[in-house]
Amino acid sequence: MPESGIKLLDHKDIISFEEIVDVVKLSVEKGIDKIRITGGEPLVRKGIVDLVWMISHVPGVKDFGLTTNGINLKKYAAELKLAGLKRVNVSLDTLNPEKYRQITRLGNIYNVLDGIEEARKVGLTPVKINCVIQKNSLEPDAIEVANFCKVNGLKIRYIKQMQLSQGHFSVVEGGEGGDCKICNRLRLTANGMIKPCLFNNNEYSIREHGIEEALNKALIHKPECGSVNTSGEFYNIGG
């Protein structure tokens, strides 16, 4: 997120929980059974536990996860589990408290570590750690995070630094993200756009087209491979 801040969406432009659930229901009808809530940071949205409950009770949802920076995870882990969430991914690029504060601009790494432990405790497992790397997984911070994961029974995924407008992306080490050959993912943004690919400008509004048509258009126009995205940033379409 830019240090100078961002332009916030008007409240009327943010889709409701009911709209999100309607997208999930139609997606399940089309054969999608894996749902992930990401962001931004989903745990700052008011009523997030209610949204989790609503999605978890959609028949046909089999794999249900959430990606978070972990800062508020300790507060919500137990409630999320009871609401039906299966597991979490936590972003953690370093174990150095000062470096973490610089990366996140005022984030407290000890809140994240407490959140990870709470997630393990309540059964939001397997807890996966998303570690952003610059070049490779042998960087000092990445090695420290990997050792932390090994000691604590966590799964680590290395994600190379990406640039939407330059088309810089690669396959996630320890995961499947970024592998265009097998990608079958769609993304729903906070303002109701269904994107068939992060690294592409195509997007279809559920309010303009209707949910089913927007889904169909996204499926039909899903590119064989990512290229560049010149119309969005990670902070407004999700990481």
Task: Say if CB 162 and CB 152 are below 8 A apart.
Answer: no
Task: Say if CB 72 and CB 115 are below 8 A apart.
Answer: yes
Mean pLDDT over 120-132 rounds to 97
Is the pLDDT confidence value at 239 over 80? no
Task: Give the pLDDT confidence score for residue 176 in this predicted structure.
Answer: 84
Task: Give the pLDDT confidence score for residue 102 in this predicted structure.
Answer: 94
Task: Give the pLDDT confidence score for residue 237 in this predicted structure.
Answer: 72
Is the pLDDT confidence value at 97 over 60? yes
Task: Give the pLDDT confidence score for residue 156 in this predicted structure.
Answer: 97
Q: What is the mean pLDDT of the chain?
A: 93
pLDDT grade for 7, boundaries at 50, 70 and 90: low
Pick the range with the lowest mean pLDDT from 117-126, 139-148, 190-199, 230-239: 230-239
Summarised one tens digit per residue, pLDDT across range 194-235 is 999 999 999 999 999 999 999 999 999 999 999 999 887 776
Supply 126's token pair.
């397997």
Q: How far, in Å, CA of 219 to CA of 211, rounded?
A: 12
Task: Give the pLDDT confidence score for residue 167 in this predicted structure.
Answer: 81
Task: Give the pLDDT confidence score for residue 177 in this predicted structure.
Answer: 87
**Domains parsed from the chain with CATH numbers:** 33-161 (3.20.20.70)
Q: How far, in Å, CA of 192 to CA of 206, rounded?
A: 6
pLDDT grade for 48, boundaries at 50, 70 and 90: very high
- In sequence order, which residues have a C-beta less than 8 Å from that of residue 221 and are 6 or more positions away? 196, 202
pLDDT grade for 2, boundaries at 50, 70 and 90: low
Local structure of 117: helix, strand or coil: helix
Residue with token string 């966590």: 154
